Structure 1
């Protein structure tokens, strides 16, 4: 059983985040920490300069609220929104926060995934902890 589980959540209908959260609960030990994490791609500076002041933070706050709603206010699940490249940021967050298992939903790989790699594939290859992939 795991003590600190990370569940990356994408706002994408092809990934079953509900199943990933259920699996995280099933493999967690009593008193475990489960974190739902959404990674937002960073806005390039040449775009950010045209946003109204405070817009970026407002967008992050909206995403945080949407993520909390997506996990249905499940008690005990910590909700985090961070910025960066999804694959790298998930692995980095897990390493910095002592995560011992990542439960990540994935889609069926398409032809392009064999050349570029999906987020789940990158997490599996680079994570320093156990990774459970849900399809």
Structure 2
């Protein structure tokens, strides 16, 4: 059983998020905590001039709403955390800040592009200081 589980969710695939959040609740110590995390990627500076000023605020608010909906669907007590930046870096930073003992991350089936640039899950597995469970 794990005392602190980080569950990073890509809000564009909430079904996978529901699956890993449910699995996290099964692996959680009775006195443990789940942190439901979404990372909003920053807009590259060369594009920032062409997008509405409130785009990032809208993305964060949308993510918060979807995570609250996901938490309610799963019927799991979880803290919601939103971060901005590169996803793998922010997932690892969240795990470190919360002193997590598990990161439970969803992944898709790897294809050729994963071997060239790597996916977020690959980066998290390679650099995490705690256990990582990758769900497919």
Indicate whether the TM-score tops 0.5.
yes
Question: How do 1:1-135 residues align onto structure 2 when only pairs under 5 Å count?
Answer: 1-13=1-13, 16-49=16-49, 52=52, 54-72=54-72, 74-135=75-136
Q: CA deviation at 1:44?
A: 2.9
Cα separation, partners in 2 of 1:110 and 1:126, compared to 1, 3 Å: same
Cα distance in structure 2, aligned partners of 1:37 and 1:54: 21
Cα distance in structure 1, aligned partners of 2:30 and 2:100: 16
TM-score (norm: length of structure 1):
0.87
Cα distance in structure 2, aligned partners of 1:16 and 1:57: 24
CA contact (8 A) 2:40 2:82 kept: yes
Q: CA deviation at 1:81?
A: 1.5
Cα distance in structure 1, aligned partners of 2:76 and 2:121: 26
Cα distance in structure 2, aligned partners of 1:26 and 1:55: 36
Cα separation, partners in 2 of 1:47 and 1:104, compared to 1, 3 Å: same
Query: Please, which runs of 5 or more residues in structure 1 have no aligned partner?
Result: none
Query: Please, which runs of 5 or more residues in structure 2 have no aligned partner?
Result: none
88-97 or 14-23, larger mean C-alpha shift: 14-23
Cα distance in structure 1, aligned partners of 2:42 and 2:3: 30
Q: CA RMSD in A?
A: 2.1
Deviations 1:62-113 (A, max 9, x none): 2211221123263421111110111111111111221110011111001110
TM-score (norm: length of structure 2):
0.87
Structure number having the greater helix percentage: 2
Q: CA deviation at 1:14?
A: 9.0
